[in-house]
Amino acid sequence: MPRLFRSSLLCASLAAIAALMIAAPALADPLRDAIAADMPDLLATYRDFHTHPELSFQEVRSAAKLAAEAKKLGYEVTTGVGKTGVGAVMKNGPGPVLLLRADMDALPVTEQTGLAYASTQPGVMHACGHDTHMTSWIGVARRMAAMKASWSGTLVMIGQPAEEIGSGARAMLKDGLYTRFPKPTVAIAFHDSASLPAGTIGYVHGYTMANVDSVDLLVKGVGGHGAYPHLAKDPIVLAARIVTALQTLVSREIDPLESGVVTVGSFQAGTKHNIIPAEARLQLTVRSYTPEVRKTLLDGIARIAKGEAIAAGLPDSAMPVVSLKDEFTPATFNTHKLTTEMAGVFEARFGKDRIRPVRAQMGGEDFSQFHLADPSIESLLFWVGGVPADTWAAGKGDITTLPSIHSPFWAPDAQAVISTAIEAMTTAALTVLKKSG
């Protein structure tokens, strides 16, 4: 190679390197860099939450950690909201009021993950990932406090108790969440997902989580000797007929394009082989999205139970007793305007490969209560994938082979969930609270 050519090539190479070095700062991402710098501390916090899970309405230690962090950052903090809830408010000039929620409670599950920082509480585990939610809450609180110059409005961050029993949001609202604190114009939350690869974001337009009803059904009969069934009215046979007939509610009474579930989760009757009992007890979970389908299912349960009892020859005084439990969780609805906006914002932030529309689920989430308390509030619950990359690859994306949330084996990629959630929630908050003018 001629010396002059080599010299020219070297100069060109050095110039290219210099250009890259000059351009490098433009590629920096202050938000992502700040989150990365914060991750060692946040992961230590996450492990602490995971090691010390607390059941619904017992989240005293967890709430104290959230409250202490928010106070240190300059938020106005109130504890004991809805028994163990936390409210942290940062007012930063005129603008919208944004509510960001993290739920705090764990589940009565015995952990079997084998993690070095596994639960130390016998029979209690963060099997739903609320430990990642609380840790992300802290990360977002830090970022928003550090970036006050970039937004205007009011940020209300809440640590919610008792999501797992569908009571925490209702308890906070009943305790004056929308009167004692600034009432939100927008409410946003996320949930980790066992159905998405770690670090991806999923969203749904409209209904994303279901109405959840718990129904108790007492089936009466006339007890007797198993050898003489003609002298009794067997409630087990009657209850079995009811269980079978209930399945026609979804298959034959609901529009095939609508969704519904009627599951009998418990069937209890009898004490011995040769005794026909006097009663049988059923426990049902009933899932739907719309109020109309919910009413069809609940009315149908009562009608079928009574109809089968009449067919079995039971008198009016022995009709089945249907009891609707107070554990009702209404369906979670993502409002169209906010969902559309945030889908675009997330895609611009993370790229098309890391955000995707997903299907609605039949699980329940009481985040729904914050929108239903005032339907004018824009609302969004989105998903952050938690399945570790190697686990996802080994299962080839088949979620039936993977541990689900509420499983004693659920161990999300905490770093991917937390870093992605903080970045997404902070980006969403900055979008909602964007300075005007």
Q: Is residue 422 part of a domain?
A: yes
Among 270, 300, 324, the domain-final residue is: 324
Clarify whether residues 221 and 256 are in a common domain: yes
Clarify whether residues 243 and 338 are in a common domain: no
Clarify whether residues 307 and 362 are in a common domain: no
Q: Is residue 242 part of a domain?
A: yes
**Predicted pLDDT of residue 26:** 45
Clarify whether residues 168 and 267 are in a common domain: no
Q: Is residue 14 part of a domain?
A: no
Task: Encode the chain in three state secondary structure.
Answer: CCHHHHHHHHHHHHHHHHHHHHHHHHHCCHHHHHHHHHHHHHHHHHHHHHHCCCCCCCCHHHHHHHHHHHHHCCCEEEEEECCCEEEEEEEECCCCEEEEEEECCCECCCCCCCCCCCCCCCCCECCCCHHHHHHHHHHHHHHHHHCHHHECEEEEEEEECCCCCCCHHHHHHHCCHHHHCCCCCEEEEEEEEEEEECCCEEECCEEEECEEEEEEEEEECECEECCCHHHCECHHHHHHHHHHHHHHHHHHCCCCCCCEEEEEEEEEECCCCCEECCEEEEEEEEEECCHHHHHHHHHHHHHHHHHHHHHCCCCHHHCCEEEECCCCECCEEECHHHHHHHHHHHHHHHCHHHEEECCCCCCCCCCHHHHHCCCCCEEEEEEEEEECHHHHHHHCCCHHHCCCCCCCCCCCCHHHHHHHHHHHHHHHHHHHCECCC
CATH number at residue 298: 3.30.70.360
Clarify whether residues 46 and 162 are in a common domain: yes
Query: Structurally, how many domains does the chain consist of?
Result: 2
Q: Is residue 340 part of a domain?
A: yes
**Predicted pLDDT of residue 208:** 97
Among 273, 292, 324, the domain-final residue is: 324
Clarify whether residues 229 and 308 are in a common domain: yes
Q: List the chain pLDDT tens, one digit each, 437 residues.
A: 444 333 443 344 434 433 333 333 446 899 999 999 999 999 999 999 999 999 999 999 999 999 999 999 999 999 999 999 999 999 999 999 999 999 999 999 999 999 999 999 999 999 999 999 999 999 999 999 999 999 999 999 999 999 999 999 999 999 999 999 999 999 999 999 999 999 999 999 999 999 999 999 999 999 999 999 999 999 999 999 999 999 999 999 999 999 999 999 999 999 999 999 999 999 999 999 999 999 999 999 999 999 999 999 999 999 999 999 988 999 999 999 999 999 999 999 999 999 999 999 999 999 999 999 999 999 999 999 999 999 999 988 899 999 999 999 999 999 999 999 999 999 999 999 999 86
Q: Is residue 374 part of a domain?
A: yes
Among 324, 339, 359, the domain-final residue is: 324
Question: By residue range, what is the domain housing residue 416?
Answer: 30-209+331-432
Clarify whether residues 409 and 260 are in a common domain: no
Q: Is residue 111 part of a domain?
A: yes
**Predicted pLDDT of residue 27:** 60
**Predicted pLDDT of residue 196:** 97
Clarify whether residues 379 and 281 are in a common domain: no
CATH number at residue 148: 3.40.630.10
**Predicted pLDDT of residue 437:** 67
**Predicted pLDDT of residue 327:** 82
Q: Name the pTM for this structure.
A: 0.90
Clarify whether residues 171 and 307 are in a common domain: no
**Predicted pLDDT of residue 436:** 85
Q: Is residue 281 part of a domain?
A: yes
**Predicted pLDDT of residue 11:** 43
Q: Is residue 288 part of a domain?
A: yes
